[in-house]
Amino acid sequence: MTPTRRALRALSTVLIVSGVLMLADAGLTLIWQEPVSALYATFVQGRLDDDLRKLELSQPTALDLAALRKLATERRRIAFLARKLRTDQDRGSAAGRVKIAKIGVDFVLVDGTDANSLRKGPGIYDEVPFPGAPGTTAIAGHRTTYGSPFRKIDQLRRGDEVVVEMPYGKLTYEVERSRIVPPTELSVLRRVSYDRLVLSACHPLYSAAQRIVVFARLVAAEARGAARV
């Protein structure tokens, strides 16, 4: 066999193997999620889990403790600490945990929904209060990459439970409804007459043309950490 033919055969082999790997990657993405970013998300979530544990063990300042003791109810103490954490957190840092048993979600939450933050996990919007403070809070997450935390968000139905665990409280929400909206639709974040959680993700799968938005109503709030003083 001539050197030229050997080189062509080697090249063809490389191209075939590359093609098979690309098809396998596409198949995994279609069936499950993009494997490289999924591995990255798993690694980062492990680090965030450690950061969240440290955050939960941290103690409030003497000034904050004095303020908390003056608040008569758990709900008011939860709201106080939610506002405090909203002010203190850095973008992309661990803030809490979201659990949705119906669709197998259990992820550390980060502060922020910019591209870098959402690569780490579901993120709390900048424009909203942290869960536990009065108003509408909102969380965004990927559906097909970086762990795909909200891949099955379209399966949520009325009455399904969403639990958000923050260092200061466990907030339980019940799904009310969902909507498909343009990416520019900001009215979904508006404040209503009750405390609400909004979950959002790109829609449909493999497209950023629209957003699927799930609305849930706060039904229970249980104090944790310093909120129990």
Phi/psi at 84 (5° precision) = -65, -45
* Interval 78-102: pLDDT, tens: 999 999 999 999 999 999 999 999 9
Give me the pLDDT at residue 33, please: 53
Beta strand 136-140 with 210-223: parallel, antiparallel or unpaired?
Answer: unpaired
Higher pLDDT, 154 or 4: 154
Q: What is the pLDDT of residue 12?
A: 46
Residue 29 has what pLDDT?
A: 41
pLDDT above 50 (res 15): no
Q: What confidence tens digit (pLDDT) does each residue in 162-175 have?
A: 999 999 999 999 99
Tell whether the model's pLDDT for residue 55 goes beyond 90. Answer: yes
How far apart CA 175 and CA 46 sit, in angstroms, is 28
Q: What is the pLDDT of residues 18-35, one digit of tens each?
A: 333 333 333 444 444 578
